[in-house]
Amino acid sequence: MAWQLLAAALPAAAKLAGTYLQKPDKKDYQPQTDYMKKYLGYIKGRSAQREVMHMAMQPQLRAIGRQGREMQQQVGYTAERSGVAGSGIEAQMRLSAGQATQEAMTTATEKAVAAQAAETARLGEKAELVTAQIGAEEQRAEQAYDTAGRQWKRQMGAEALGLGASIAGAKITQAGQAKEAAMVATRSGYYGDEANVQRMIDEGWTPQMFQQETARMDKVMTSIMGNEDPETVMAAWKQMTGADIAIPDVDYTTMPPDEALEAKAKETAGMVIGEGVPDPVQYKDINTVKQAREADSKVTEPVEEAVADSKVTEPDEGREAAVTTVYKNKPYTITIYNKDKTKSKSKTIRFTGNKTTSGKYVFKSDDGKRLDLTLEELNDGLKKKGEKDVVGIRKKLVEGGHEIVDVTAQTGLSSVLAGGKAKIRMAEPLAKKFVEAKNMLADMGIEIQVADSKVDYGVKKKQYEKWIAGGMKGTKVADPDRSFHTIGFAFDLAQNPEMKRPEVAEALKSVGLVPHDTEWWHWSLEKV
């Protein structure tokens, strides 16, 4: 069927479209040379001003002028005492004193010129170095753009081939899967004859849906009949009552697949279509009537009065619940208030895996008491006074619809993971701040090193569920619905001594990035 081929091709097509939209833009690879050009202009300005020569000459000129005046005064005094005042002898004496002053001026000028020449040479070397750095940065930016372009073209080609392969593979396997699904569904007896099963397939039922529903129906039939064959049970019922078991005449093929699944399960369980299905009591390892009664009494025990009296209010408008998925056996520490809200107590509760008929989650506290809570009530209990609204901040960032940027393609910097070959990906606002901090650290001679950046939501969710199932032992895994990594607004520094230097943290803070309270390596952007 065409829609199945489309479904098979969608992931590859979406990936191809995403890659196309990530075509490198020349403006994103502009060399970061503005500050270097400003410095070069400053150096050239200093060279033209000849400051060193002026600073060296001024005190010398003052000293030589003073000495010249003193020498002329001494000549006049000596000539007067010797009686040669106004004679040629006095004139000769004054000429000699003037020559001495001129020689001192020449010596001072030569020294000042030499000092200026040395300074000009030094500034020239600096200018040449900065000019070379500007050229290197421009060349690096050009090479990064060319490399990104080549990588993009290769990736587009590979994903185009992958799209073709997905469609071809779907065509090959579709027929076999559909045939096998029809055969199994017909044999189960839950869906009528072969023609009816085929009609359901044409209406949208997939092999996976038939498999899921058949397993569900088998479970229900086993719970009702035990290990007895259904035909045997029906014959016994007719012998006892003289009547056949009435099967409601419901056409499931006219329903959407998800509604049909629910309706079929209700019919098999002997319920009227439209009634709610009560959550079954988990009578695991129950062998006697006494054990069953004890189990039933535990399930139906009254909810702790303190919870009922607390009358937990609905969350503020626009505030998303911090917990969206409740995990079995995970501990949650909540605050419970008395009727007048004057006293409170903390309680650690764990989800039992059961829900009430009204849809509340059944929890057991560490003291053995039962609490039935909605998600809103749970989240209100979890909320602490003055606690940062992490989920609210995350929601605002998500609503911004920011593009995910390939930082590796822009800067040439890769993650330290996967042998240094993993890409660094961030939401565009975070990427800009990160590159700014990276350049600042580079000027200090520090190369920033990154581990995790954006993490796929599905990957994080599997890691989190595995951590919960394992008793939350080992390294803590963040809830994907609260993690900034899954939306591209967080990254982790490599956990080494170089990245713990105070200069690194100061640079990241200076551009507006926020460190984690207990994990020094985790940085995020909370405000755009």
**Predicted pLDDT at 224:** 54
Q: Give the span between the Cα atoms of 168 and 239, in whole angstroms.
A: 55
Q: What confidence category does residue 207 fall into, taking pLDDT thresholds of 50, 70 and 90?
A: confident
- b vs e for 124-148, b when ≥16 Cβ sit within 10 Å of the residue's Cβ? eebbeebeeebeeeeeebeebbeeb
Q: Please determine, for residue 524, whether its predicted confidence score (pLDDT) is greater than 80.
A: yes
Pick from 225, 355, 188: nearest CA to 278: 355
Average pLDDT over residues 31-58: 77
What residue has token string 């080549």? 150
Q: What is the pTM of this model?
A: 0.34
**Predicted pLDDT at 133:** 85
Q: Within 10 Å of residue 326's Cβ, how many Cβ atoms?
A: 16
Domain locations along the chain: 2-185, 205-268, 300-387, 398-524
Q: Return the half-sphere exposure (C-beta side, CA atoms, 13 A cut-off) of residue 199.
A: 11
**Predicted pLDDT at 271:** 40
Q: Give the span between the Cα atoms of 461 and 480, in whole angstroms.
A: 6
3-state secondary structure 365-414: ECCCCEEEECHHHHHHHHCCCCCCCHHHHHHHHHHCCCCEEEHHHHHCCC
Pick from 46, 55, 44, 42: nearest CA to 113: 55
Q: Give the span between the Cα atoms of 242 and 239, in whole angstroms.
A: 6
pLDDT, tens digit, 9 for 90 and up, residues 76-125: 888 888 888 888 888 888 888 888 888 888 888 888 788 888 888 888 88
Residues 163-172: contacts with CB under 8 Å, at least 24 apart: 163/9, 163/12, 163/13, 163/16, 165/12, 166/8, 166/9, 166/11, 166/12, 167/5, 167/8, 167/9, 169/8, 170/4, 170/5, 170/7, 170/8, 170/9, 171/5
Q: Give the span between the Cα atoms of 214 and 188, in whole angstroms.
A: 7
Which residue would you say has higher pLDDT here, 228 or 410? 410
Q: Give the span between the Cα atoms of 485 and 456, in whole angstroms.
A: 8
% of residues, the chain, pLDDT over 90: 18
Q: Note the Cα 211 to chain centre separation in Å.
A: 36
List, in order, residues 6 or more apart from 56 with CB less than 8 Å away.
108, 111, 112, 115, 116
pLDDT, tens digit, 9 for 90 and up, residues 418-473: 888 889 999 999 999 999 999 999 999 999 999 999 988 888 888 888 888 888 88
Q: Is 189 helix (H, G, I), strand (E, B) or coil?
A: coil
- 490 burial class (0-12, 13-18, 19+ CB within 10 angstroms)? buried
**Predicted pLDDT at 319:** 36
- b vs e for 216-242, b when ≥16 Cβ sit within 10 Å of the residue's Cβ? ebeebbeeeeeeeeeeeeeeeeeeeee
Q: Please determine, for residue 36, whether its predicted confidence score (pLDDT) is greater than 60.
A: yes
Q: Please determine, for residue 59, whether its predicted confidence score (pLDDT) is greater than 70.
A: yes
pLDDT, tens digit, 9 for 90 and up, residues 368-389: 889 999 888 888 777 665 566 7
* Percent helix / strand / coil, the chain, rounded to 5: 60, 10, 30
Contact 251, 269 (CB under 8 A): no
Q: Please determine, for residue 37, whether its predicted confidence score (pLDDT) is greater than 90.
A: no
Pick from 393, 358, 392, 353: nearest CA to 377: 358
Which residue would you say has higher pLDDT here, 209 or 48? 209
**Positive or negative, the Cα torsion across 208, 209, 212, 213?**
negative
Average pLDDT over residues 24-40: 82
pLDDT, tens digit, 9 for 90 and up, residues 147-204: 888 888 877 777 776 666 666 655 556 666 677 777 777 777 767 778 888 878 877 7
> Which of 115-119, 125-129, 403-407 is predicted most confidently?
403-407
pLDDT, tens digit, 9 for 90 and up, residues 263-321: 554 444 444 333 333 333 343 344 443 444 454 444 433 343 333 333 333 333 333 34
**Predicted pLDDT at 7:** 56
Q: Please determine, for residue 349, whether its predicted confidence score (pLDDT) is greater than 80.
A: yes
CATH code: domain 398-524 is: 3.30.1380.10
Which residue would you say has higher pLDDT here, 399 or 84? 399
pLDDT, tens digit, 9 for 90 and up, residues 230-265: 555 555 545 544 555 444 444 445 555 545 554 554
Alpha carbon distances (Å) from 3 to 170, 171, 312: 11, 11, 46
**Predicted pLDDT at 508:** 95
**Predicted pLDDT at 381:** 79
